[in-house]
Amino acid sequence: MQTSLRCSLPTSLAYRACARLASRDQAPAAFAAAGRVVAMAIAMAMGGCAALPGQVERPVSYSRSDVADTQLAKIAAASTADDQRGLSGFQLLPDGAQAFDARIALIRRAEKTLDVQYYLIASDGTGLEFLRELQRAAARGVRVRILVDDLYATGQDELFAGLAAHDNVEVRMFNPLPVRRGGFAERIVLSLHQFTRINHRMHNKLFIADGTFAVTGGRNIADEYFDRSGDANFIDMDVLSMGPVVKELAAVFDRFWNSDVVYPVRSLVRGEPSAQAFERQVANVPAAAPAASASLSLDAELSRGRLELERGTAEVFADAPQKAEGDTVAATVAQAHLALLDSAQTEVLLASPYFVPGAPAMQALSAMRGRDVSISVLTNSLATTDEPLVHFGYARHRAALLNAGVDLHELMPTGATAGETTTSLGGSGRGASLGRLHTKLTVIDEEKTFLGSMNMDARSARLNTEAAIVIHSAPLARLVAKFVRDRQQEGSYEVRLQGNRLAWLSGEGAEQRTRSAEPQPAATPALPVRVLAQLLGEGML
């Protein structure tokens, strides 16, 4: 599985397949891509009869409320003063290793229920260790419900069905493709007769332990989201939550879990699932090394029986599962985000790895600038993005954004630019590994924080399901603002207009450097990718 296919959703898969060929093979790929399109047409005819099962049992279940006697509930109570009972508590998880440790610590302490919802759970070391810990929790008697988007679950039917064969575990796949065999490209091609199904995905990320603690944010479950990938890691952010907001998050999980868009994995596989097959896959996976600051880890805090948290109120926004079926009647997370932007009085800090502002977003940003609200955006540069096709869509808007008075910052590749020194703030914190922005957050007036799975692009707005939490806490907002500003100031290019041309500035004072050419990745995207970006509408990026 390619990293570039993990973090943003596929657009037109035929176009994206051609783009990937072009970026890998340079000029010859244009001819290969043409042949691929012909092959796709043939494959569509071959796969046209594939269909999902018609009669599927989806036993209804809901989040458990009988959790007050659990260890985690007692720790939450001990961490909450009497005058804070009506507030939720929050702790940021910006470090990848600590964010993974937090999930494992919660799994190991869970006593009654674990609810897990992700766009991607990879079959790499991180994914397999995560699933192994969930199975061990189930063996202790914990009810485990796992909901995974099906798109990148290629080759995982045996893994997930084997896990679901264990007692106390149920696995459901969101909007599954009708074709189960073959590799990623083959499944896509043979399922093109149901293109709408392919093109609508569940992008949510949610983890809930004993109905007491929840982890939400931008991370999927794979090596590169937790600083465990050698070549490239994602800069991301999760937030640990407890208190009243967890009940709202649990209701979102239940809404998806009990929807008609999901299928129990057992209904999708032939034959009897094998628990032994699962155990063989996870048996020899090594445990992750502990986080460097183990004394500051959630595991250590839980062992002490009390957590240090920022307090505030929160609202949860989530798209309806039926959005995957083309239902756009219900309010969306994108609409809630625009309303939040409209509430800004002085300042907006925005981080989005895939930033392609459509007409509504451009209008909102222009209106804010008209009220003298400062706006600063952090996104990937062409040199750090894993989706160059999307980056070229963003590039169309740079001049208009700058002319409107929006500050633009593009992440700098660590150590990739001659004469420039970058800190780990511009990378993943793991030496020479390339850092790629994956954080999706907005800070309003250093008082409110929007954090979740939503990219600021048309795909998140119209096609895939998203979820987000809006936290009303000035201390937490200031911490998140610092997270963004540190990366802007020390690990990013500031993009400016010099005359009619763009320039990329880095450094300060006498050490400031100006580039007139866009920073390029090690492998420059081929011309066909740039052409596709011009031809495709933004809703297809």
Q: 49-58: string of b/e by CB count within 10 Å (b at 16+)?
A: ebebeeeeee
Cβ(356)–Cβ(390) below 8 Å: yes
Active site residue 440: yes
Let me know if 327 is a catalytic residue: no
Report yes or no: 43 and 192 within 8 Å, Cβ to Cβ: yes
Cα 481 to its chain centre, rounded Å, is: 20
Catalytic residue among 210, 227, 299, 457: 210
Q: Inter-axis angle of helices 13-25 and 28-47, to 10 degrees?
A: 150
Q: Are 346 and 474 within 8 A, CB to CB? A: no
**441 DSSP β-pair partners:** 351, 451
How many Cβ atoms are within 10 Å of 254's Cβ, its own excluded? 16
> Catalytic: which of 203, 323, 337, 397?
203
Going by C-alpha positions, the residue among 199, 235, 89, 248 that lies closest to residue 191 is: 199
CA 518 vs CA 29, 65, 375: distances in Å: 24, 54, 22
Q: Pairing between strand 407-411 and 374-380?
A: parallel
Q: Which residues are within 8 A (CB) of 239 and not within 5 positions of it... i.e. 6 or more apart?
A: 90, 91, 92, 93, 215, 216, 217, 451, 469, 471
Cα 219 from Cα 298, distance rounded (Å): 17
- Helix axis angle, 157-164 relative to 125-139, nearest 10°? 20
**Token digits of residue 149:** 């988007």
- Which helix (DSSP H) or strand (DSSP E) does residue 169 occupy? strand 169-174
Classify burial at 338, counting beta carbons within 10 Å of its beta carbon; exposed 0-12, middle 13-18, buried 19 or more. middle
Catalytic residue (one of 397, 409, 440, 448): 440
210 is catalytic: yes
Residue 401 tokens read as 């954004």
CA distance 135 to 142: 9
DSSP state of 290: P
Counting every residue written for the chain, the total comes to: 541
From the candidates 205, 397, 409, 448, give the one annotated as an active-site residue: 205
Residues 245, 241: Cα–Cα separation, whole Å: 7
Close Cβ partners of 247 (under 8 Å, ≥ 6 residues apart): 63, 211
**Is 391 a catalytic site residue?**
no
Q: For residue 520, what are the contacts with CB-CB under 8 A and spacing of at least 6? A: 382, 383
**Does residue 438 carry a catalytic annotation?**
yes
Residue of 254, 445, 472, 486 with catalytic role:
445
Give the active site residue among 95, 438, 448, 457.
438
Question: Which residues carry out catalysis?
Answer: 203, 205, 210, 438, 440, 445
